[in-house]
Amino acid sequence: MQLISGFTKSLHSGCRRTVLPALVASLFAMAAPQAQGQSLFSPAIRVNQDIVTWYELQQRQQFMDLLGIPGSSETEVRDALIEDRLRKQAMRDAGIRATPEDVQSGIDEFASRGNLSTDEFLRLLNEAGVSRETVRDFVADQLSWRDYVAIRFLSQARPTDDEINRALGQGGGGGLQVLLSEIIIPVTPQTLAQAEALADEIALLPDQESFSAAAAQYSAAATRDNGGRLEWLSITNLPPALQPVILGLKNGEITDPLSLPNAVALFQMRGIRETSANTPSYSEIDYAIYYLPGGRSADTLAKAAKLKEEIDTCDDLYGLAKGKSPEVLDRVTASPSEIPRDVALELAKLDPNEASTTLTRNNGQTLMFLMLCNRTRDLGEDTSRVDVANALTQQRLQALADSLLEQLRAEAVIVQQ
């Protein structure tokens, strides 16, 4: 149902960062898959009354390889094309087909994201062995499926006012939670350019596995040991400015790199859900920062880990700071919108009296022992109702579309060569 799902987002960003020409060049040395003793235009798969040719298998495989998508084995490519045929059959029965103007606009969007003209974009793909017709058919199918799903399920997917209230944590009846993965790349003035380039490359990663691998290798957050995976978070715990960014993500999509003090952050959406538990928003956050010299050195991180074991509450930090410079400890009470973004992101992951040692200051030379003291509940509404409604609708449309596709596949007659 998405025009540009996981791998098309990669192409958007890849073109923009001039990755596409390098990918194209690498494909000239690749041998296209071809079945022994088969004509390229003979049937490779029959899906009910429709066929998939060996040529289409070859084209899809080259297309996925060009976009840098893992999962382009013959089995996975076959599964993708079987689903294409099932979608086409459903859309054909419903009389839904994207207009030529919409298809052209979709291709134009691909090209413009990479600062390419449409002709340049299609020529690069063609030079890599992917025909213009393959691209046009792919875009047309994605657009048509999006329209079909909306027409068939939109009335079921739209949330009621009460459901939006619950997702916002109002009315005492529930909330909206997101499942994210994170990568926090520390930077100094000397490493800023390198970190930004790395973040740009990570933003192109096509799936959760590769994002998790990058988190384990590059992230400074404690979640690196878990591939960057966070637990479910209430959307109202996140910084207000970040909430619409996160709600705008589809499953598997990655944010653009986010600039933080002394770091660059990226987030990947892994899931979104409604909960029956109340998830309120907050008017004030009370937190403390104890500064440790030495940055992220092994010695300083060991001291911070020991502090975590010894400190029970924020008030305990006053005893540590006694007799030291006043600058060693900050105790802050602020509204969520007033808190620095990197601090707010860390606080969103914490329960009261839990601590984070991810952040630094002073160009990475000072480690922040950040502790959440308390949150003050707010009955107001920081998150846009429109953002929440759109996120709920897209979540439900995706679930309904996936369920329909599973049903179509279960009922289909599929014969593979």
Q: Where are the alpha helices (DSSP H) in 263-384?
A: 298-310, 316-321, 341-348
Q: C-alpha 165: how far from its chain's center?
A: 25
pTM over 0.75: no
- At 177 the three-state DSSP class reads strand
Which string of DSSP letters, residue by residue, matches 382-399?
Answer: -S-HHHHHHHHHHHHHHH
Q: Name the DSSP class of 285.
A: E
Q: What is the pLDDT, as a whole number, of residue 289?
A: 96
Q: Name the DSSP class of 223.
A: G
Residue 133 φ then ψ, to 5°? -65, -35
* CATH architecture, domain defined by 167-279+386-395: Roll (3.10)
Give the integer Cα–Cα distance in Å for 417 and 403: 27
Q: What is the pLDDT, as a whole number, of residue 6?
A: 35
Q: Is CATH 2.40.128.20 what the domain over 282-378 is classified as, yes or no?
A: no
**What's the half-sphere exposure (Cβ side, CA atoms, 13 Å) at 332?**
20
Give the integer Cα–Cα distance in Å for 376 and 346: 17
Domain 6-157 fold: Triger factor/SurA peptide-binding fold (1.10.4030)
Q: Where are the alpha helices (DSSP H) in 326-384?
A: 341-348
Domains of the chain, by residue range, sit at: 6-157, 167-279+386-395, 282-378
**What's the half-sphere exposure (Cβ side, CA atoms, 13 Å) at 25?**
5
Across the chain, which has 417 residues, the per-10-residue mean pLDDT values are: 35 36 35 53 92 90 72 80 93 90 86 79 86 87 90 88 69 70 90 91 90 94 92 86 87 91 91 72 88 93 93 92 91 90 91 92 91 76 71 86 90 91
Strand 360-361, strand 366-378: pairing: antiparallel
Name the residue among 281, 167, 179, 183 with its Cα closest to residue 232: 179
**What's the half-sphere exposure (Cβ side, CA atoms, 13 Å) at 122?**
15
Residue 44: count of CB within 10 angstroms of its CB: 21
Give the integer Cα–Cα distance in Å for 321 and 317: 6
Q: Which helix (H) or strand (E) holds 181?
A: strand 175-186
Largest CA distance in the chain: 84
Domain 6-157 and domain 167-279+386-395, same fold? Reply is no
For residue 410, give the amino acid letter.
A
Q: What is the pLDDT, as a whole number, of residue 157?
A: 87
Do 248 and 387 meet the contact criterion of CB atoms below 8 Å apart?
A: yes
